[in-house]
Amino acid sequence: MSNRKVSIIERVKRSGKWSWGKKWDLPAKFTLKEGSRQGKFYLLWYQGNDKQFTPVAAVKREKLPDLEAALRLAKMKQRHLEDAADGLDRPDPIKPLNRVKIQEAVQKFVTQIELTQNPLTHKVYEQNLREYSEWTKLTYVDQIDKNHLFEYRKHVMDGGNGRLTADWKLLRINKMVKVTLRLDHGKGPIKKSDLGKMKPNGDPDIYTPQELQAFFGACKPVEHLRYSALREPAFRKEELMYLERDDVLISQQMLRVSSKERHDDDGNLVYKYEAKSDSERDVPISRELLERIVRHMTSHQHRLVFCTRSGKPDTHLWDKIKSIVKRAKLDPASFNLKKFRATQATEWLRPKWLGGFGYDMPTVKRLLGHEKDSDSIWSYVRRVENEILVGEMNKEKEKAPLPHDASRPTKGPVVVVSEGGGVVVTGVRAF
Q: What local confidence, expressed as pLDDT, does residue 398 receive? A: 74
Name the least confident of 98-102, 354-358, 370-374. 370-374
Residues 137/117, Cβ–Cβ less than 8 Å: no
Q: What local confidence, expressed as pLDDT, does residue 149 receive? A: 93
Going by pLDDT thresholds of 50, 70 and 90, the confidence category of residue 374 is: low
C-alpha dist (Å) from residue 237 to 46, 117, 207: 37, 10, 17
Mean pLDDT, residues 128-149: 91
Name the least confident of 70-74, 368-372, 375-379, 411-415. 411-415
pLDDT, tens digit (0-9, with 9 covering 90-100), for 221-273: 999 999 999 999 999 999 999 999 999 999 999 999 999 999 888 888 888 88
pLDDT, tens digit (0-9, with 9 covering 90-100), for 394-428: 887 777 665 554 444 444 444 444 444 444 444 43
Going by pLDDT thresholds of 50, 70 and 90, the confidence category of residue 200 is: low
Going by pLDDT thresholds of 50, 70 and 90, the confidence category of residue 117 is: confident
Q: What local confidence, expressed as pLDDT, does residue 132 receive? A: 95
With a threshold of 0.75, does the pTM exceed it?
Answer: no
44-53, 64-73, 277-286, 368-377: range with highest mean pLDDT: 277-286
pLDDT, tens digit (0-9, with 9 covering 90-100), for 3-35: 678 999 988 888 877 788 889 988 888 888 887
Q: What local confidence, expressed as pLDDT, does residue 42 receive? A: 86
Mean pLDDT of the chain, nearest integer: 83
pLDDT, tens digit (0-9, with 9 covering 90-100), for 152-193: 999 988 887 778 788 889 999 999 999 998 887 778 899 877
Q: What local confidence, expressed as pLDDT, does residue 425 receive? A: 44
Whether residue 112 has pLDDT greater than 90: no
Q: What local confidence, expressed as pLDDT, does residue 350 receive? A: 94
Whether residue 279 has pLDDT greater than 80: yes
Going by pLDDT thresholds of 50, 70 and 90, the confidence category of residue 199 is: low
| pLDDT above 70 coverage of the chain, percent | 86
Q: What local confidence, expressed as pLDDT, does residue 96 receive? A: 60
Name the more confident of 72 and 235: 235
Name the more confident of 399 and 316: 316
